[in-house]
């Protein structure tokens, strides 16, 4: 009977990483029983709550026990690996014993804790190893009339290729997925290793992980984009009853769920690498379709067949499997968006319903058939005792048949035993190699690999034996290292009595503790070594030099932060520190993280560009968005990548999202190059190519306040690039003027800008010249244009292109008119700056449109600003052309009337002044005559 049940979903939140701690991150997750709440760090009042089957608080309240295991610090508030296994792992085991298929998926962004829950680290073993160990433990305690068969397989899906992690030889193009009527989809040729104890599985996992690490570096791949699938096939053969129960357990550590958001308005010309993450996208589609189906909607098609992963998981999702998903989340404020998206994904997943059945495997059927047939045969044989019931030849045939069938049963047994034996032998060889490695670690200094993915760190060790050891890609080296930017003969290590030095060969890249080295350099215990573009190693000195120091602090982040610091880049540098509570702004921290994350990718891309002879140089830049904010607030910073062509000096600016997308496409191309295939691509699909474009060079802020007081401003100001460095100086004048363009004088100054309210305000922007344009110094064939946008204008205005001259004369004046100055416009003038952008033209690019198309003009040809939106034609539903001219006519009429009134007013004021003057004169003379008369009076008295 099928058992309908929903996918069980658990959320787990991890502790802060060191990086998050250093950055003073805040925790945005809280949990209460099985509900999980997340608050928006930018709007803390906004809380969203989700309810799942289980919620694991693994963020705080723990301590490390003497074995290094994280356990609850008393209050039971912390969920450790043991608790997670108890709820989820035991369920998987129970299902397996009953003969159900079981699937466990870990979903979440890179670094959220998927591998920690699935595989684990050191003493904190995850679900997979504990499930395997418990399975063997339970087998030991079972009755003896049962036989067990366990096989283990481990594969990786990268770029839709299936790589067998237990096979020494890598098949180009990966293994094929095939479909079978009975077993559904399966991987053809995948190594299924029979195991009869846990130690064997432990070694296999270690071996698989090594393979994964080597494959990642050799293929220049990113492990966070790959899925790892471990499959345990568990068969129980009940000898007495001749029944077989079979269960397939899939344990899936999915690729990082993060999406590259395309920032700003810029979209990449090339679509995302077609096969990159296809599996994860399809998984999302399958889950959505299944979730919709479960809520009663009619779903016609579930796209299982669209990707490798969904083919393999077909029965786990919406089929014959009991399925569990762990949604791993980061607690940090800067991961808010990703965490929220993970919780939403999990919410959809929990709606899926599966129909799990106890598996009647082909073996079981075979046994059952054999048993039935034997019974029949036996009863017929019994009949033989009655002579005459059967003929002699018939008896013979029956005996033969019986023997054959019994052989069938035995051969199943024999095959299994011999496979097990072969695996045991292989395992012993492996074991000897591992034992030897342990011994070497105690004798020699060595390089320990450090990977971006902590799961793949400390996996490979390269021993530096006495004398000198050559290192590089060539197999003739003592230390064979594959990786981007590593040459055949890359460097030499010498070990003289435990004193180790590193000497890179000519032009070979080597960095020690953040600084590039060229000559012989002495290494000290725990030095950080980077060879080629991004192969990182921790140097572990000879045993005598070693200390008790915990090596875990030298993780990938440590390496990258050290490199960034050597380049003069840090959080403090970005202005994150300081402030009231000395907490860094999450936005600034995000930029710092981006920088650290992109740094190695840029190094890799430069290397690929060099090898593929693309002649392009890539550099990381931090763009200060304050320069594009008209109020000058230090809003945000953004990472971008500047691309320069080494020979033509052409420049492109890529957003982070575009760069990451291109990098994956470049990797695909590079892989083809490495495999000796033709790497010629059309310009249109070349990830290194883009049409030549206009480049934003810098901006200046010119405050508009003077216009609000009708005062002229003559400004000479620096155009600063996104790093705050001077790109050029621009001479610009803002001049209040009359409607016919006469510049107003001092007499026209207003004391209060509100005096201009409702009046016609005219002004001119005059761009005189630019001085010392760096862009024009750097290369020939370049030009510039200057652009700006005033208040509510629908578009930017650009000056005509100026070519070649480093101090180009521009001399362009534009006249603007606010016909009926609004309060908002006057306010804008007082509080905002005009952002003046400097644009760089290069050979072959299309210049910015310097016409006045799309702008509303007065009959005199001046540009109308402050065009009241409430009265726009569209809003009132009138024919735009007529409506605008009608409005304009009315405005002019009103203005004329006002002007008339003003004239009258002015005349009155003049009269008034005249009268006052007369009065004053009269006053004085009257006073004099009054005095005189008084004197006379007194005389008369
Ligand atoms: P993912 O596989 O999702 O990329 P990992 O499982 O490798 O992420 O976890 C990233 C880091 O966080 C690792 O250093 C790991 O040790 C740590 N971590 C993850 N989950 C936990 C947890 N529950 N408790 C302690 N540390 C954790
Ligand atoms: Mg992982």
Distance from Cα 161 to the centre of ligand 2, integer Å: 18
Average confidence (pLDDT) over 424-443: 87
Lowest mean pLDDT among 187-191, 368-372, 483-487: 368-372
What phi and psi, each to the nearest 5 degrees, are found at residue 342? Answer: -65, -40
Give the whole-angstrom CA distance, residue 808 versus residue 719. Answer: 14
Determine the distance separating the centroid of ligand 2 and the alpha carbon of 452, expressed in angstroms.
10
Q: Which of 19, 20, 113, when mutated, tests ligand 1's pocket best, judged by the most ligand atoms within 8 Å of its CB?
A: 113
Strands (E), 657-781: 695-703, 713-720, 726-737, 761-771
- Closest residue by Cα to atom 10, ligand 1, is 111
**Looking at residue 930, what is its pLDDT?**
47
Q: What is the 3-state secondary structure (H, E, C) of 189-247?
A: CCCCEEECCHHHHHHHHHHHHHHHHHHHHHCCCCHHHCEEEEEEEEEEEECCCCEEEEE
**Is the pLDDT reported for residue 556 higher than 70?**
yes
Burial letters for 136-162: b for 16+ Cβ neighbours within 10 Å, e otherwise? beebeeeeeeeeebbbbbbbbbbbbbb
- CB proximity list for 737: less than 8 A, separation 6 or greater: 743, 744, 762, 763, 764, 815
327 Cα to the center of ligand 2, angstroms: 13
Pick 218 or 663 by higher pLDDT. 663
Q: Which of the four pLDDT bands, split at 50, 70 and 90, describes residue 272?
A: low
Span from the CA of 14 to the centroid of ligand 1 (angstroms): 7
CA-nearest residue for atom 24, ligand 1, is 14
Which residues contact residue 576 at a Cβ distance below 8 angstroms, ignoring those fewer than 6 apart? 23, 584, 585, 588, 589, 592
112 CA distance to ligand 2 centroid (A)?
8
Long-range pairs of 887-896 with CB within 8 A, sequence gap ≥ 24: 888/819, 888/858, 891/819, 891/820, 894/820, 895/760, 895/819, 895/820
CB of 115 within 8 A of CB of 253? yes
Ligand nearest to the CA of 330: 1
Q: Enumerate helices (H) and strands (E) in the chain, giving the number of each.
A: 19, 44
Q: Is the CB of 113 under 6 A from ligand 1?
A: yes
**Is residue 816 lining ligand 1, measured as CB closer than 6 Å?**
no
Q: How far apart are CA 213 and CA 480, in angstroms?
A: 14
Of 249, 5, 253, 254, the residue nearest 131 (C-alpha): 249
Q: Is the CB of 730 under 6 A from ligand 1?
A: no
Separation of alpha carbons 454 and 110, rounded Å: 11
Cβ of 114 closer than 6 Å to ligand 1, yes or no, is: yes
Burial of 23 from C-beta contacts in 10 A (0-12 / 13-18 / 19+): buried
d(CA 168, CA 669): 25
* 58 within ligand 1 shell (Cβ under 6 A): yes
**Which pLDDT band holds residue 681 (cuts at 50, 70, 90)?**
confident
pLDDT of 922 reads: 67
Highest mean pLDDT: which of 144-148, 574-578, 889-893?
144-148
Structural tokens at position 7 = 């996918």
pLDDT above 60 (res 517): yes
Instruction: Count CA within 13 A, CB hemisphere, residue 111.
Output: 21
Least confident of 246-255, 348-357, 820-829, 915-924: 915-924
User: Is 115 touching ligand 1 by the criterion CB < 6 Å?
Assistant: yes
Q: What is the DSSP code string of 155-192?
A: EEEETTEEEETT-SSPPTT-BPEEEETTTEEEETT---
**Residue 267, pLDDT above cutoff 90:** no
Q: How far is the CA of 114 from the centre of ligand 2 (A)?
A: 6
Which region among 335-339, 579-583, 661-665, 858-862 has the lowest average model confidence (pLDDT)?
Answer: 579-583
Distance between CA atoms of residues 773 and 881, nearest Å: 42
- Distance, in Å, from the CA atom of 175 to the CA atom of 155, rounded to the nearest integer, reads 10
pLDDT category of residue 229 using cuts at 50, 70 and 90? very high
Nearest to 479 by CA among 516, 453, 440: 440
Give the tokens for residue 741.
Answer: 């363009």
CA of 536 to the centre of ligand 1 (A): 20
Q: From the CA of 227, which ligand is nearest?
A: 2
At 343-401, the pLDDT tens digits run 999 998 988 877 777 775 555 555 556 666 666 666 665 665 555 555 666 666 666 66
Most confident by average pLDDT, 243-247, 274-278, 293-297, 302-306: 302-306
Give 81 Cα–ligand 1 centroid separation in angstroms: 12
Average the pLDDT over 902-923 and give the result. 67
Q: Is 223 in the pocket of ligand 1 (CB under 6 A)?
A: no
User: What would the mean pLDDT of 718-746 be, rounded to a whole number?
Assistant: 91
Instruction: Give the phi and the psi of residue 726 in degrees, each rounded to 5.
Output: -70, 130
Name beta bridge partners: 230: 154, 251
Looking at all shown ligands, the one closest to residue 69's CA atom is: 1
Assess whether the C-beta atom of 246 lies below 6 angstroms from ligand 1: no
List helix spans (H) across 359-483: 362-384, 392-441
pLDDT band at residue 677 using 50, 70 and 90 as cut-offs: confident
Whether residue 459 contacts residue 537, with contact meaning beta carbons closer than 8 Å, is answered with no
Protein residue closest via CA to atom 14 of ligand 1: 454
* Residue nearest atom 19 of ligand 1, based on CA coordinates: 113
Give the number of whichever ligand sits closest to the CA of residue 70. Answer: 1
Distance CA 781, CA 843 (A): 6
Q: How far is the CA of 108 from the centre of ligand 2 (A)?
A: 9
Query: Measured from the CA of 110, which atom of ligand 1 is nearest?
Result: 4
Q: Which residue has the higher pLDDT, 6 or 123?
A: 123
Return the residue whose CA atom lies nearest to atom 22 of ligand 1. Answer: 14
Ligand 2 centre to CA of 225 (Å) is: 10
What was the pLDDT predicted at 354? Answer: 77
Residue 429 to residue 666: CA distance in whole angstroms: 39
Nearest residue CA, atom 27 of ligand 1? 14
At 711 the pLDDT is 94
The atom of ligand 1 lying closest to the CA of 13 is 23
The structure tokens 């509510």 sit at 792
Q: Is 59 in the pocket of ligand 1 (CB under 6 A)?
A: no
Residue 597 Cα to ligand 1 midpoint, Å, equals: 17
Pairing of strands 243-253, 515-516: unpaired
What's the confidence (pLDDT) of residue 936? 38
The protein residue with its alpha carbon nearest to ligand 1, atom 1, reads 111
Q: Is the CB of 801 under 6 A from ligand 1?
A: no
Q: Is the CB of 228 under 6 A from ligand 1?
A: no
pLDDT average, residue stretch 766-778: 93
Least confident of 357-366, 446-455, 582-591: 357-366
Q: What is the mean pLDDT of the chain?
A: 84
The closest ligand to the CA of 223 turns out to be 2
* Ligand 1 contact, 110 CB (< 6 A): yes
Q: Is 489 helix (H, G, I), strand (E, B) or coil?
A: coil
In which band, very low, low, confident or very high, does the pLDDT at 874 lie, cut at 50, 70 and 90?
very low
* The pLDDT value given to residue 580: 42
pLDDT of residue 567: 80
Examine the pLDDT at 872 and tell me if it is beyond 50.
no
Q: For residue 118, give the ligand 1 atom closest to its CA.
A: 6
Which residues lie closer than 8 Å to 855 by C-beta, 6 or more apart?
A: 793, 794, 795, 863, 864
What's the Cα-to-Cα distance from 92 to each of 13, 398, 416, rounded to whole Å?
21, 45, 25
Which residues have a Cβ under 8 Å from the Cβ of 656 and sit 6 or more positions away? 260, 263, 594, 598, 638, 639, 640, 641
pLDDT-based confidence at residue 308 (cuts at 50, 70, 90): very high
Ligand 1 near 80 CB (within 6 A): no
| Residue 474 token pair | 């060539």
**Which residue is listed with tokens 């990977």?**
451
Among 88-92, 265-269, 362-366, top mean pLDDT goes to 88-92
- Ligand 1, closest atom to CA 113? 6
Q: What is the CA radius of gyration of the chain?
A: 39
CB-side neighbour CA atoms (13 Å) of 653: 17
Give the model's confidence band at 448: pLDDT under 50 very low, under 70 low, under 90 confident, else very high.
very high
* pLDDT higher at 885 or 702: 702
Check pLDDT > 70 for residue 850. yes
CA of residue 273 to ligand 1 center, whole Å: 28
Reported residue count of the chain is 941
Ligand 1 proximity of 186 Cβ (cutoff 6 Å):
no
User: What average pLDDT does this structure show over 232-252?
Assistant: 86
Q: Which residue has the CA at smallest separation from atom 9 of ligand 1?
A: 113
- β-pair partners for 622: 639
112 in contact with ligand 1, CB cutoff 6 A? yes
Q: What is the pLDDT of residue 380?
A: 62
Ligand 1 neighbourhood includes 78 CB (under 6 angstroms):
no
Integer CA distances (angstroms), 775 to 138, 689, 785, in order: 73, 22, 11
Residue 667 confidence (pLDDT) above 70: yes
Cβ atoms within 10 Å, residue 395: 15
Per-residue model confidence as pLDDT tens digits over 16-66: 998 888 778 899 999 999 999 999 988 888 999 999 999 999 999 999 999
- Kindly identify the ligand whose nearest atom is closest to the C-alpha of 109: 1
pTM of the model: 0.76
SS3 813: strand
The response to whether residue 320 sits with its C-beta less than 6 Å from ligand 1 reads no
Task: Quote the pLDDT of residue 828.
Answer: 94
CA of residue 223 to ligand 2 center, whole Å: 8
Cβ of 319 closer than 6 Å to ligand 1, yes or no, is no
State how beta strands 102-107 and 243-253 pair: parallel
Counting ligands in written order, which one lies closest to the CA of residue 112?
Answer: 1
Q: Which two tokens stand for residue 738?
A: 């009359």
Q: In degrees rounded to 5, what are phi and psi of residue 410? A: -65, -40
- What are the residues whose beta carbons fall under 8 Å from the beta carbon of 354, sequence distance 6 or more? 4, 5, 6, 7, 316, 317, 318, 319, 320, 321, 322, 323
pLDDT at 542: 95
Residue 627 has pLDDT above 60, yes or no: no
Q: Which residues share a beta bridge with 229?
A: 155, 252
Task: Return the closest-CA partner of residue 99 out of 3, 194, 198, 236.
Answer: 236
**Nearest C-alpha to atom 17 of ligand 1 is from which residue?**
113
Mean pLDDT over 913-935 rounds to 60
* Residue 940 confidence (pLDDT): 33
Distance in angstroms (rounded) separating the CA atoms of residues 103 and 86: 16
Mutate to test the pocket of ligand 1, among 13, 14, 223 (most ligand atoms within 8 A of CB): 14
Over residues 562-584, mean pLDDT: 65
Q: Which atom of ligand 1 is nearest to the CA of 56?
A: 23
Residue 307 near ligand 1, beta carbon < 6 Å: no
Is the shortest distance between the CB of 15 and ligand 1 below 6 Å? yes
Q: Report the percent of the chain where pLDDT is more than 70.
A: 81
Pocket flag, ligand 1, residue 593 (CB < 6 Å):
no
Q: 219 CB less than 6 Å from ligand 1? A: no
Distance from residue 108's CA to the centre of ligand 1 (Å): 11
Number of CB atoms found within 10 A of residue 566's CB: 13
């Amino acid at each position: 009977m099928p058992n309908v049940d929903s996918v069980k979903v658990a959320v787990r939140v991890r502790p802060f990483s060191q990086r998050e701690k250093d950055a003073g991150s805040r925790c945005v997750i809280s949990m209460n029983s099985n509900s999980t709440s997340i608050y928006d760090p930018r709007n803390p009042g906004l809380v969203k709550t989700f309810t799942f089957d289980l919620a694991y608080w693994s963020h705080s309240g723990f301590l490390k026990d003497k074995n290094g295991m994280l356990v609850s610090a008393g209050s039971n508030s912390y969920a450790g690996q043991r608790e997670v296994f108890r709820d989820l792992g035991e369920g998987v085991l129970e299902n397996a014993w009953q003969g159900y298929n079981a699937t466990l998926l870990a979903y979440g962004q890179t670094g959220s804790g998927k591998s920690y829950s699935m595989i684990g680290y050191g003493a904190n073993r995850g679900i997979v190893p504990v499930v395997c160990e418990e399975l063997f433990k339970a087998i030991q305690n079972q009755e003896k009339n049962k036989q067990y068969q366990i096989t283990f397989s481990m594969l990786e899906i990268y770029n839709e290729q299936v790589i067998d992690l237990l096979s020494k030889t890598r098949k180009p193009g990966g293994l094929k997925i095939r479909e079978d009527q009975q077993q559904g989809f399966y991987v053809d040729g995948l190594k299924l290793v029979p195991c009869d104890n846990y130690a064997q599985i432990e070694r296999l996992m270690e071996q698989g992980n090594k393979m994964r690490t080597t494959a990642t570096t050799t293929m220049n791949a990113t492990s966070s984009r790959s899925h790892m699938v471990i499959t345990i096939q568990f068969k129980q053969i009940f000898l007495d009853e001749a029944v077989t129960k079979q269960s397939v357990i899939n344990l899936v550590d999915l690729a990082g769920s993060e999406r590259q958001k395309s920032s700003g308005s810029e979209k990449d010309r090339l679509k995302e690498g077609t096969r990159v993450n296809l599996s994860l996208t399809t998984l999302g589609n399958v889950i959505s379709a299944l979730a919709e189906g479960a809520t009663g909607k009619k779903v016609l098609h579930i796209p299982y067949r669209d990707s490798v992963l969904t083919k393999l998981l077909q029965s786990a999702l919406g089929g014959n499997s009991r399925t569990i998903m762990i949604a791993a989340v980061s607690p940090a404020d800067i991961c808010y968006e990703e965490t929220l998206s993970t919780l939403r994904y999990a919410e959809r997943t929990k709606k899926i319903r599966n129909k799990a059945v106890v598996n009647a495997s082909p073996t079981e059927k075979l046994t059952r058939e054999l048993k039935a047939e034997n019974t029949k045969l036996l009863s017929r044989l019994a009949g033989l005792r009655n002579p005459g019931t059967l003929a002699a030849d018939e008896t013979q045939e029956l005996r033969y048949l019986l023997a054959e069938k019994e052989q069938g049963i035995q051969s199943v047994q024999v095959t299994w035993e011999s496979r097990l034996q072969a695996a045991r032998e292989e395992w012993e060889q492996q074991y000897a190699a591992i034992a030897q490695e342990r011994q070497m670690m105690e004798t020699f200094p060595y390089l320990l690999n450090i990977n971006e993915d902590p799961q793949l760190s400390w996996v490979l060790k390269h021993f530096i034996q006495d004398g000198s050891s050559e290192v590089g890609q060539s197999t003739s080296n003592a230390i064979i290292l594959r990786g981007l930017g590593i040459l055949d003969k890359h460097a030499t290590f010498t070990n003289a009595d435990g004193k180790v030095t590193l000497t890179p060969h000519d032009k070979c890249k080597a960095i020690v503790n953040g600084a590039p080295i060229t000559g012989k350099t002495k290494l000290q215990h725990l030095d950080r070594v980077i060879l080629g573009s991004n192969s990182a190693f921790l140097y572990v000195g000879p045993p005598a030099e070693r200390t008790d120091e915990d090596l875990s602090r030298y993780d990938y982040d440590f390496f990258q932060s050290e490199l960034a610091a050597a380049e003069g880049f840090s959080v403090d540098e970005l202005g994150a520190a300081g402030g009231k509570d000395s907490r860094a702004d999450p936005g600034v921290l995000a930029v710092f993280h981006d920088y650290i994350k992109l740094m190695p990718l840029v190094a890799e891309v430069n290397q690929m560009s060099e090898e593929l002879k693309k002649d392009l140089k890539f550099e990381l830049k931090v763009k200060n968005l304050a320069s594009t904010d008209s109020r000058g607030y230090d809003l945000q910073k953004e990472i971008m990548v500047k691309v320069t062509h080494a020979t033509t000096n052409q420049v492109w600016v890529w957003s982070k999202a575009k760069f990451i997308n291109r990098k994956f496409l470049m990797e695909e191309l590079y892989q083809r190059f490495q495999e000796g295939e033709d790497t010629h691509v059309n310009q249109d699909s070349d990830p290194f190519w883009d049409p030549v474009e206009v480049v934003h060079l810098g901006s200046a802020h010119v405050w508009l306040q003077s216009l609000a007081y009708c005062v002229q401003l003559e400004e000479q100001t620096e155009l600063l690039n996104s790093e705050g460095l001077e790109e050029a100086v621009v001479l610009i004048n803002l001049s209040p003027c009359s409607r016919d363009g006469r510049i107003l004088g001092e007499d026209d100054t207003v004391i209060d800008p509100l005096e201009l309210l409702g009046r016609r305000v005219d002004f001119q922007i005059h761009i005189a010249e630019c001085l010392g344009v760096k862009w024009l110094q750097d290369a020939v064939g370049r030009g510039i244009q200057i652009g700006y946008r005033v208040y509510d204008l629908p578009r930017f205005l650009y000056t005509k292109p100026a070519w070649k001259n480093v101090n180009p004369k521009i001399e362009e004046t534009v006249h603007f008119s606010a016909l009926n100055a609004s309060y908002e416009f006057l306010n804008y003038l007082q509080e905002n700056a005009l952002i003046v952008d400097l644009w760089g033209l290069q050979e072959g690019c299309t210049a910015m449109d310097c016409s006045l198309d799309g702008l509303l003009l007065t009959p005199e040809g001046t540009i109308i600003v402050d065009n009241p939106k409430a009265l726009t034609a569209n809003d009132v539903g009138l024919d735009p052309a007529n409506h605008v001219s009608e409005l304009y006519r009315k405005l002019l009429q009103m203005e004329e009337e006002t002007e008339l009134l003003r004239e009258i007013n002015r005349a009155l004021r003049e009269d008034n002044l005249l009268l006052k003057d007369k009065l004053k004169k009269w006053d004085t003379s009257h006073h004099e005559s009054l005095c005189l008369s008084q004197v006379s009076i007194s005389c008369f008295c």
